[in-house]
Amino acid sequence: MSPRVFVTRLLPPAVMERLARETDLAWNSEDRIATKAEIIAGLRGRDALLCNITDRIDAEILDACPGLKVVANFGVGFNNIDVAAATARQIRVTNTPDVLTDATADMAFTLLLAVARRLGEGERVVRAKQWKGWSPTQMLSADVTGATLGIIGFGRIGRAVACRARAFDMRVIYWNRTRLPEVEAATAGVEYETLDGLLRQVDFVSLHVAYNPETHHLLGEAQFALMKPTAFVINTARGAVIDEKALVRTLQSKRIAGAGLDVFEREPEVEAGLYTLENVVLAPHLGSATIGTRTKMGMIAVDNLLAVCAGELPLNCVNPAVLRRAIG
């Protein structure tokens, strides 16, 4: 008997085709975030939920679906799911790590280059037909090659960003909850610093930490005050890692040079003050948005849910404390 699966939002075609072949599939056919009521209705009689990072999966939803075996999240982060509630109900929660490392690192560097070289501002001038032609002092921007890059969070994505920085001859310093062994740091070409020490030195700082209570507003008024007025902030992690209101005040007063943001504190809402700032590049959460990456993410999510429904251990389980369930 095929596992009964509910998908909260359409996924890339190859993923939906596989689900249609290998599962008893139901899904939210509208390209929007499903409401709580729609998720509960869609989950009736289902074994598995394949959800997105924009879906809030809480105890109320889990209680309404007593036959649920697994919540497979389409994404690396899983702060959208009440993992403790799932664990208490013996429901496995899975995610899709590793596969989006390169795409997200590419996005971080895209934002870094775009804000440093004033690309968004320049494009707006051209589109508005206000460009008067080349000038020796037109839109002079920050140098990237040879600059100092600070990486906050040195997991897979942070390491991939450091690798890209080497192509620009950047000095890379990092802060991580766990410090690397010296030999490993030397091999990676990075130097360790305290968070405050890093912020004081960098020309660019790129955030790559997981979101949790310890990293909520990791960068705020006090941290921005440590940075050089020529420094830039890049965020492809989670929006709430930055205190957005403090960032707006800091940018408005030109206490730092700019920011490149792919994530926001209350997505899809954006802090109003950001819209009017020329020294900010804003992207609509595109970190993993390549065809190959999103398809691989979907396939991993499907692998995870099929494993649980077959009574096997999924490859990517974020709550391993859950005892193996009897299926059948």
d(CA 199, CA 138): 29
Dig out the tokens for 281 from the structure: 């590049």
Q: What is the spatial distance between Cα 198 and Cα 321, in angstroms, rounded to a whole number? A: 36
Residue 191 tokens, joined: 């130097």
CA distance 11 to 31: 10
Residue written as tokens 């950047």?
170
User: Do the beta carbons of residue 288 and residue 101 sit within 8 Å?
Assistant: no
Distance from C-alpha of 103 to C-alpha of 47, rounded to nearest angstrom? 31
Tell me, yes or no, if 267 is annotated catalytic. yes
DSSP 8-state secondary structure symbol assigned to residue 274? G
> Can you tell me whether residue 222 is helix, strand or coil?
helix
CB atoms within 10 A of CB 210: 16
User: Which one of the listed residues 92, 238, 244, 271 is annotated catalytic?
Assistant: 238
| Phi, psi (deg, nearest 5) at residue 219 | -110, 120
Q: One of 216, 217, 267, 325 is an active-site residue; which one? A: 267
Q: Where do we find the tokens 């310093």?
A: 173
Cα–Cα distance, 144 to 229 (Å, whole number) = 16
Q: Find out whether the peptide bond into 284 is cis, omega within 30 degrees of 0.
A: no
- Active-site residue among 92, 118, 208, 285? 285
Of 213, 247, 212, 298, nearest in space to 23 by CA: 298
Rounded Cα gap, residues 150 and 158, in angstroms: 10
C-alpha span between 238 and 242 (Å, rounded): 8
- Residues 6 or more apart in contact with residue 195 via CB below 8 angstroms: 152, 175, 223
Beta bridge partners of 261: 235, 282
Whether residue 271 lies in the annotated active site = no
118 tagged catalytic = no
3-state secondary structure of 212: coil
Residues identified as active-site: 238, 267, 285
